[in-house]
Structure 1
Amino acid sequence: MNMKYNMALAALVVAGIAAWLTGFVSQQAVHSETLAKDAVTIEAAAAPTAGGSAKIAMPEPILDMIATADIERGKAVAKACAACHGFENDGKNGVGPNLHSVVGRKKDAVAGYSYSGALVAQGGDTWTYSELNKFLWKPKVYAPGTKMSFVGIKKPEDRAAVIAYLRSINNAPAPTEAEIAKDKADLTPAAEAKK
Structure 2
Amino acid sequence: MRALPALLLCLVPLASCGPQTPATPAKPPRVLSDTERAALLANLPAPYNTGDLENGRRVFARCRSCHTITEGGSNMTGPNLWGLFGRQAGSHAGFNYSQAVKGAGFAWDADHLNHWLANPRTFLPANKMAFPGLEDATDRRDVIAFLKVETGYQP
TM-score (norm: length of structure 1): 0.54
Q: Runs (4+) of structure 1 moved beyond 2 Å? A: 170-174
* Residue deviations 1:131-175 (CA, integer Å, cap 9, x gap): 00000000001000010000001100000000001100134256x
Give the AA of the match of 2:67.
H
Whether the 8 Å CA contact 1:101–1:166 is kept in 2: the answer is no
Whether the 8 Å CA contact 1:116–1:145 is kept in 2: the answer is yes
Alignment map for 1:2-13 (pairs within 5 Å): none
- Mapped pair 1:160 → 2:141: yes
Structure 1, unpaired ranges of 5+: 1-62, 175-195
Aligned residues: 111
1:136 matched residue in structure 2: 117
**How large is the RMSD of aligned CA atoms in angstroms?**
1.4
Give the AA of the match of 2:89.
K
2:53 matched residue in structure 1: 71
**Secondary structure of 2:129's partner?**
coil
Whether the 8 Å CA contact 2:51–2:145 is kept in 1: the answer is yes
Whether the 8 Å CA contact 2:90–2:103 is kept in 1: the answer is no
Whether the 8 Å CA contact 1:65–1:157 is kept in 2: the answer is no
Whether the 8 Å CA contact 2:91–2:102 is kept in 1: the answer is no
Taking the aligned partners of 2:72 and 2:94, their CA distance within structure 1 comes to 12
* Residue deviations 1:72-113 (CA, integer Å, cap 9, x gap): 110110010001111111000000000112122111221100
**Secondary structure of 1:144's partner?**
coil
> Which structure's CA Rg is the greater one?
1
Taking the aligned partners of 1:122 and 1:171, their CA distance within structure 2 comes to 23
* Percent of aligned pairs with the same amino acid: 34
- Mapped pair 1:120 → 2:108: no
Whether the 8 Å CA contact 1:87–1:98 is kept in 2: the answer is yes
Structure 2, unpaired ranges of 5+: 1-44
Taking the aligned partners of 1:110 and 1:119, their CA distance within structure 2 comes to 11
Taking the aligned partners of 1:112 and 1:173, their CA distance within structure 2 comes to 23
Higher helix share: 1
Alignment map for 1:92-131 (pairs within 5 Å): 92-123=74-105, 125-131=106-112
**Secondary structure of 1:67's partner?**
helix
TM-score (norm: length of structure 2): 0.68
